[in-house]
Chain A
Amino acid sequence: MNKRGFYPRLAARSLRLNGKFYLPYILSGTISAAMLYDVLFLGMNTGIARGSVSALLGFGALVVALFSLALILYTNGFLMKRRQQELGLYNILGMEKRHMARLLLWEGVYTALICIGGGLLLGILLSKLFLLLLCAIIRLEVPFGFEVPGEAVLYTVVGFGSIYLITFLLNLFRLGRVKPIELLKGTESGEREPKTKWLLALVGFVSMAAGYYLSVTVQDPLRALGIFFIAVMLVIIGTYALFTAGSIWVLKALRRNKKFYYQPRHFTAVSGMLHRMKRNAAGLATICILSTMVLVTVSTTLCLYAGADQLIGSLYGREVQTYVFGGGPENREKVMAVYERVLRERGVEGRNLTAFCAYADEPEYNWRTVAAPYFDRGVTEEVLGDPSGEVFFTYVGCDVDKDVNTYELRLALESAVYDLCSDPTFAYDRTFTDDGRGDRFDYWSSLGGFFFIGLFLGSLFLMAAVLIVYYKQISEGYEDARSFQIMQQVGMAQSEVKATIQSQIMSVFFLPLLVAACHTAGAFPMTKKILRLFGLSNTELFVLCSAATLVIFALVYYFIYRLTAREYYRIVKR
């Protein structure tokens, strides 16, 4: 007998037979590997990866790798639990544990090969697309050509190779500990009804409240960053504890209410959820946390990006700008006239023209900050600021098209302002003309980089949430199939079955979304303070960005719900 090829073939066959479970596992592994490759690729692209963007991409790669590890371990654990029965059967048919270890090894090898190979291929195909996206976001020329950096490939292979090695070792450990009879019993064993855990509920409530309290009360933006992580940890702990203990408490209270409980729709839903809340709760909490992560990451980075123009304006002023310190309000007209003439002569169109006079309390002539509060006022005749201020200044500035050379324009403006200054009727202490495109660009790239990483990680978290939801639904589908069959035998119509399933899935599905929205709102005061660190203080914009993110996320979530509910119903109906 040809023994050599037996385990590889058996492994291939069992992967195929368990396709419904393995396909999402392999797919998510492939996508994660592709994402790791792409983020590495972007980080190594010399055309764009400079300074802050490069550092951000490096951080992104680390997050992708660690998160992939957690995700793959989680789904692998789920798969192994489902396959216990199959392994138990092999055991009874005379396969020893070392044989099973070989089977697992081959399965691991196949999975790793498919995921890493497929991931690299997908990553290379998508790399140009991501490059285009990143360049569009940070407003950069797209570098020509198509490259596959060997280092990025190497790191991806090493990273995911290690992840699958760890997975395999963990499976071996699991296999070593389990007894054959347990292998055979698998997931079927009846579960004890969970007890209400008061202590856990209390811990959950306290840490959740503490997390929210920290978020709402934090004052200092610089401290907010440090406190943010503490609050996040507290809320994560609180979410897990409250989902675990709180849900049981609520369900038991519902069951005690006889009028509510003994109704066809509630009867099965409440008892079913109560019955498997032990496992259910952790899954729900995980989905909730992931959703919150998506919401917070994407909404903050989106807000940074959407507010970038304003932010940069307030930090660096207009692209070309002139400050005239001293003199009187009549200087505004004069400097504006100089701008209009120079722009007209050079055939350049000025945008966002800003011109005003203002008092300031800045003895150091800190020209970068004195004008910042008034950039949104545009051209105004009003004299701004507190008249008791020590300094009086005039500001004129505008933005120009991308293809205009701001350095040359600035020189022209400078010499024109110099001409103006030589006019004895023009009163001034000191003038300064500036172009800020270089600084602006660096800042732009880092904000764009943030947004890109936010989107990138957001989609990774979203994929994880989808995967967990999918596995949860199908495993529960298999568990519930028998219950629904029995209920049909004792007098439940098909339509009632459908309605029950709907109400059960709905509540399980939309609870995490609701809590995630709540968390995002709770994090709002703190994220707002952190955004202020970046110089952004536009609350309206942040509210708008958060709302937009939430709406889009809810739509995606609803789509996933429809998809998995259909799959669940198909399993149960059989």
Chain B
Amino acid sequence: MSLLEVNNLKKVYTTRLGGTGVEALKNVSFAVEAGEFVAIMGESGSGKTTLLNILAALDRPSGGTVRLNGEDMAAVRERDLTAFRRDNLGFVFQDFNLLDAFTVRDNIFLPLVLAGKTYEEMNARLLPLTKALGIGELLNKFPYELSGGQKQRTAVGRALITRPAILLADEPTGALDSKASDSLLRIFESLNEQGQTILMVTHSVTAASHAKRTLFLRDGMIYHQLYRGQRTREEMFAQISHTLTVMTSGGKEQDHE
């Protein structure tokens, strides 16, 4: 059994007056095994954000199923959804979404506080995590005192402190300079090596080249996928770029490995 199974996922947005809907996702199926690092690539409008919102249980699909650890997410009741999301999923957003009013420590604590954990328990989890993320020195700073990279690492800390089954990242490097992007992606790689499952939506080739597998999404369907295998990052970068070129120029290549 895979950690995350997505089967025949459909999402149709209908206008308020009914009429013809827009198919954001036509028929998406894929699976993510525990310990994988998957990137999903696609242009704007390809359905990336819709897919991520459904995986995050922020939106409901029009058809198909999403199973996490074998549990159908559609079967989770509305009022249990918040807790389900808190316990199983960690989020990293493009623009960090840190709360200005909280210190780094409190931003990271936020999901645990909401889950009703005690201070001692939270603190025990905090130290190893912040050390791994390289923000151990910044715990008492406020977001306005941090650089973009530090903010995003704080956001990763917040996502991981609940020990989620999957870390969902939405364009995590979108607001970072190349140096900060690189350091964040290395952190993702090292987290993945320690067993953290990561699903990242991006349109940065660099970001995707760090992943173990890249899925390409076009017009609401999985168009292609690439496994990194034994390839170096540079080779992977070239391969992804090539696929994107083919994809945007309209080719119908189906090169499964």
Interface residues of A (CB under 8 A from B): 190-193, 258-259, 262-264, 267-268, 271-272, 274-276, 483, 486-496
Tell yes or no: B86 within 8 A of A by CB. Answer: yes
Residue numbers in B under 8 Å from A490 (CB-CB) = 86, 91, 110-111, 114, 158
Residue numbers in B under 8 Å from A274 (CB-CB) = 101
Closest chain A CB from B225 CB (angstroms)? 28
Closest chain A CB from B248 CB (angstroms)? 31
Residue numbers in A under 8 Å from B143 (CB-CB) = 190
Q: How far is the CA of A193 from the CA of B102 in the complex (A)?
A: 10
Q: How far is the CA of A375 from the CA of B113 in the complex (A)?
A: 69
A491 near B100 with CB under 8 A, answer: no
B114 near A496 with CB under 8 A, answer: yes
Tell yes or no: B182 within 8 A of A by CB. Answer: no
What does DSSP make chain A's interface, helix, strand, loop or mixed? helix
Q: Which of B85, B113, B144, B162 contacts A264 (CB 8 A)?
A: B113
Q: Which of A191, A192, A258, A487 contacts B114 (CB 8 A)?
A: A487
Tell yes or no: B122 within 8 A of A by CB. Answer: yes
Name the residue on A nearest B115 (C-beta): A491
Q: Given the known A-B contacts A271-B102, A483-B101, are A491 and B114 also in contact in the complex, defined by CB atoms under 8 Å?
A: yes
A493 near B79 with CB under 8 A, answer: yes
Residue numbers in B under 8 Å from A262 (CB-CB) = 109, 113, 118-119, 122
Residue numbers in B under 8 Å from A487 (CB-CB) = 99, 110, 114
Q: How far is the CA of A300 from the CA of B98 in the complex (A)?
A: 51
Q: How far is the CA of A275 from the CA of B144 in the complex (A)?
A: 12
Q: How far is the CA of A483 from the CA of B102 in the complex (A)?
A: 10
Residue numbers in A under 8 Å from B101 (CB-CB) = 268, 271-272, 274-276, 483
Interface residues of B (CB under 8 A from A): 58, 79, 82-83, 85-86, 91, 93, 97-102, 106, 109-111, 113-116, 118-119, 122, 142-144, 158, 162
A483, A488, A491 — most chain B CB neighbours (10 Å):
A491
Closest chain B CB from A394 CB (angstroms)? 77
Q: How far is the CA of A496 from the CA of B116 in the complex (A)?
A: 12
A193 near B119 with CB under 8 A, answer: no
Besides A190-B144, A488-B82, 11 new A-B residue pairs in contact (Cβ under 8 A), listed by A number: A267-B109, A267-B110, A267-B113, A271-B101, A275-B100, A483-B101, A491-B115, A492-B82, A493-B79, A493-B83, A496-B114
B82 near A493 with CB under 8 A, answer: yes
Q: Given the known A-B contacts A490-B158, A491-B86, are A191 and B119 also in contact in the complex, defined by CB atoms under 8 Å?
A: no
Q: How far is the CA of A479 from the CA of B97 in the complex (A)?
A: 14
Closest chain A CB from B108 CB (angstroms)? 10
B114 near A483 with CB under 8 A, answer: no
Q: Given the known A-B contacts A490-B86, A491-B82, A492-B82, are A191 and B100 also in contact in the complex, defined by CB atoms under 8 Å?
A: yes
B97 near A486 with CB under 8 A, answer: yes
Name the residue on B nearest A274 (C-beta): B101
Closest chain B CB from A489 CB (angstroms)? 6
Q: Given the known A-B contacts A271-B101, A275-B100, are A258 and B119 also in contact in the complex, defined by CB atoms under 8 Å?
A: yes
Closest chain A CB from B156 CB (angstroms)? 12
Q: Which of A259, A272, A489, A493 contacts B91 (CB 8 A)?
A: A489
B85, B86, B114 — most chain A CB neighbours (10 Å):
B114
B58, B83, B115, B144 — most chain A CB neighbours (10 Å):
B144
A483 near B99 with CB under 8 A, answer: yes
Name the residue on B nearest A259 (C-beta): B119
Residue numbers in B under 8 Å from A496 (CB-CB) = 82, 114
Query: 5 shortest A-B CB distances, which residue pairs?
Result: A491-B86, A275-B101, A190-B144, A493-B82, A271-B101
Q: How far is the CA of A272 from the CA of B119 in the complex (A)?
A: 19
Closest chain B CB from A123 CB (angstroms)? 45
Name the residue on B nearest A495 (C-beta): B79
Q: How far is the CA of A264 from the CA of B111 in the complex (A)?
A: 9
Q: How far is the CA of A539 from the CA of B52 in the complex (A)?
A: 70
Q: How far is the CA of A187 from the CA of B110 in the complex (A)?
A: 25
B79, B83, B100, B119 — most chain A CB neighbours (10 Å):
B100
Residue numbers in B under 8 Å from A486 (CB-CB) = 97-99
A491 near B106 with CB under 8 A, answer: no
Residue numbers in A under 8 Å from B109 (CB-CB) = 262, 267
Q: How far is the CA of A271 from the CA of B98 in the complex (A)?
A: 13
Could you list some 20 contacts between A and B, CB below 8 A?
A190-B142, A190-B144, A262-B113, A262-B119, A262-B122, A263-B116, A264-B113, A267-B109, A271-B99, A271-B101, A272-B101, A486-B97, A489-B91, A490-B91, A490-B111, A490-B158, A491-B85, A492-B82, A492-B114, A494-B82
Residue numbers in A under 8 Å from B114 (CB-CB) = 264, 487, 490-492, 496
Q: Given the known A-B contacts A190-B144, A262-B113, A496-B114, are A267 and B82 also in contact in the complex, defined by CB atoms under 8 Å?
A: no
Closest chain A CB from B129 CB (angstroms)? 15
Q: Which of A193, A263, A491 contacts B111 (CB 8 A)?
A: A491
Residue numbers in B under 8 Å from A276 (CB-CB) = 101
Q: How far is the CA of A496 from the CA of B113 in the complex (A)?
A: 12
B113 near A489 with CB under 8 A, answer: no
A488, A493, A494, A495 — most chain B CB neighbours (10 Å):
A493
Q: How far is the CA of A495 from the CA of B113 in the complex (A)?
A: 16
Residue numbers in A under 8 Å from B115 (CB-CB) = 491
Q: How far is the CA of A539 from the CA of B110 in the complex (A)?
A: 54
